[in-house]
Amino acid sequence: MAELQAQRGNLRDRMKLAASILAGQAKAEEEAPKKETVFENIKKQQYLKVFSFLEQVQLDPLPDHYKLAWEYLNGGNNTLRAAVDRKLDTNGRLSSETVAEILDECEGQMKVQDLNALVAESEALLAGGFKTLSKSGKESMAYAEALQTRLDWMRELDPAEQADMPIEAQFKALLKITTQMMQSTKKASESLDESTKKLSQMRSRLDEANDKAQRDQLTGLPNRWAFEQQFSAATIRAKERFEPLSVAFIDIDHFKQVNDTHGHEAGDRVLQLVAKTLDGFTRGNCHLARHGGEEFVIVLENTTTAEAKKQIDAVREDLAERSLVNKENGEPIGRITFSAGVAPFIPGEANRQVLRNADAALYEAKNTGRNQVLIYNGG
């Protein structure tokens, strides 16, 4: 532990030294300006901001920490910026675990750009395949026309001229045309086979990237980005079918205490257990996702809020009956409970408002004793 603290101290000292060097350079240049491009000056100021931010939030200058700081200060990811602001408002600082959680939470949106690039590449391959087919078709037509011309010419010869042209010469002429066409067709076929192979690989990569972009790495559940797509589709179906639709937010009670007492690895296992337990109760008309941190969200199609409360209560009671133990050291973790808030989807009401209503019901459940499921009362 002492060695680790010393290493962190060295890292922070280096960070402060780098910041002071850059600051000193900037000050010296103000006193005796040198020729420097506007871009170089802006870049230097950005580095200074990153160093200052890391020191302010008590983070060591590690790659992931630097990545988050750079994105927060200079990037355009509004979701990441909002997530950092929420953590800072709550705790006043950031931890390595928080950084990993925020980066993981925002990873889905970042990967959307990669997916778009894969789609564009796939479309280009398809266009190339169609172009190859078109070229092959045109060459086949040219071959047929050349062959027909040759045959027509041979038919128009009078018997004397045909007698003067040996059969061997006639066959050689036709064979030459046929050989050229076969070579051209073979090249087109090979090119098309290669395009088809690349397209198949591209589709596999696209499916894999799409799945990763929609999955939470820790629990394996759909992430917030995937949930928003599912929720939007579910509201459309509910309106078309005139069916009830409910949304529930679920939050693990005293989860921070589990992390602080037993460590983040134990906390991760608790998250996985709750995710598995919730996933076990969901049916075909339920869509479960990890919404971030220790919070989960469920969309229940063709389900009233009373029915949704009953189903979630059954899971809550099942989970609360278990007594968990930290497998790393054998220490008891105790019971794990959660609170939940349920709200109905009302046609004409914005999707965001439905989520806010469910969140308000969850907030009430947390503030009035925890370990319970409450339905939004419209207050």
Residues classed as catalytic:
294
Residue 332 tokens read as 């008891």
Dihedral sign computed on CA atoms, order 309, 312, 318, 323: negative
Q: Is 48 exposed, middle or buried (0-12, 13-18, 19+ CB in 10 A)?
A: middle
User: 333 in helix, strand or coil?
Assistant: strand
Sheet of 245-252: strands edge to edge? 286-292, 295-301, 245-252, 338-344, 373-375
Residue 66 tokens read as 């630097």
User: 44 in helix, strand or coil?
Assistant: helix
CA distance 63 to 44: 18
Chain Cα centroid distance, residue 326: 31
How big is the chain by its Cα radius of gyration, in Å?
A: 33
